[in-house]
Amino acid sequence: MSLDNRYEFVFLFDVKDGNPNGDPDAGNLPRVDAETGQGLVTDVCLKRKVRNYVGLVKEETPPFEIYIKEKAVLNRNNLRAYEELGLKHESKKLPKKEEDARNVTQWMCQNFFDIRTFGAVMSTDVNTGQVRGPVQMNFARSIEPVVSAEHSITRMAVTTEKEAEQQSGDNRTMGRKFTIPYGLYRSHGFISANLAKQTGFGEEDLELLWDALINMLDHDRSASRGEMSPCALYVFKHESPLGNAPARKLFDLIDVNRVSDGPARDFKDYQVSIREDQLPSGVQLIKYLE
C-alpha cells in the first residue's frame, strides 16, 4: 500500500568516546564544520546504517534486497531485471520500448528496498534507469562544537619472523586513533508521498525505516565508533500527500539546548523542547524513544 501522507522527521543520536564518521580526506579525523566546529555525519553514512540494518533483519531476500552494499556487482543485479522480464539489454541503453524501460526500472524498485526508498542511479553498462527516492536525509550536525582527541595505539603482535627477532621495543606498531569525548547530533529527514507512489515505497517500508533508525546503531558497533546511541525520533505526519505546512516551520518547533554546566558528556545534559501548541493544522507529531 502506497503512502497517502507526507512526512518530515528529526533524528537525534549521540556518540561517546568514538568517531561517528571519519573523513578520509583528513586522515580519518571526525568530520567537522570548519567554521563552527560542529561535528558532521554525512547522509551517506546514515543511509549505509539503514541499509545494513534492513539487510540484517530481512536477510537480503526480495522485496528487501539491498542494492548498494559492500562488494555488490551492480551490473549483475541490473541484468537480473532483464532476465526476469525476458528482455535483451544493449550496452548503456534502456529498452527502446517505453513500457519495457519502465518495467525494468519498476522491477528494480520492487526487489530492492534501498532503491525504492533512497533512489539510485542505475545507468551503468546494463542500464536500468534512474530513480529519485522518496526518502531523503541531510547531514547530521552536532548541537555544539565537538573536540577531537588523538590517541596513540600500539600492536603487541608481529607479522613476520624477522619482526619477532627484533627487540620488543622496536616491533610495536604505532598508530593513531581519533575520537570525540561526546557529541549530540541532529539530522532532518523528508518523505515524499508523491515519489513514494512512483517507486512503490509503502507503509511496510515506512515502518521498517522507523525501526531501522531506532535500532540500527545497536547493530553497528565497532571500536572506532565508540558508543553511539539513538536518543529521540520525532515524526511530523501531514494529512495531505502534498503537506500541510513547510518543513522548516516544523523543524523550528523542536529546540535542543544545554541544561548543565561544564562539558556535555550525556544526553541528560540537554533538554528537548517542543512547542506542540504551535503545530499547524493538519500535522500530527509522533514521538519515538521517549
Domain boundaries, the chain: 7-145+178-288
Q: Tens digit of pLDDT for each residue in 187-208?
A: 999 999 999 999 999 999 999 9
pTM score > 0.75 for this model? Answer: yes
- Which residue, chain included where needed, has cell 518547533? 253
Higher pLDDT, 158 or 119: 119
113 vs 50, 78, 93, 189, CA distance in Å?
A: 10, 14, 24, 17
Reported as a pLDDT band with limits 50, 70 and 90, residue 1 is low
* Residue 187 main-chain phi, psi, to 5 deg: -125, 145
Q: What are the backbone dihedrals phi and psi of residue 72, each rounded to the nearest 5 degrees, phi first?
A: -70, 140
Q: What is the pLDDT of residue 290?
A: 74
Query: To the nearest whole number, what is the mean pLDDT of the chain?
Result: 94
Q: With 0-12 CB in 10 A as exposed, 13-18 as middle and 19+ as buried, what is 73?
A: exposed
Maximum C-alpha span of the chain: 75
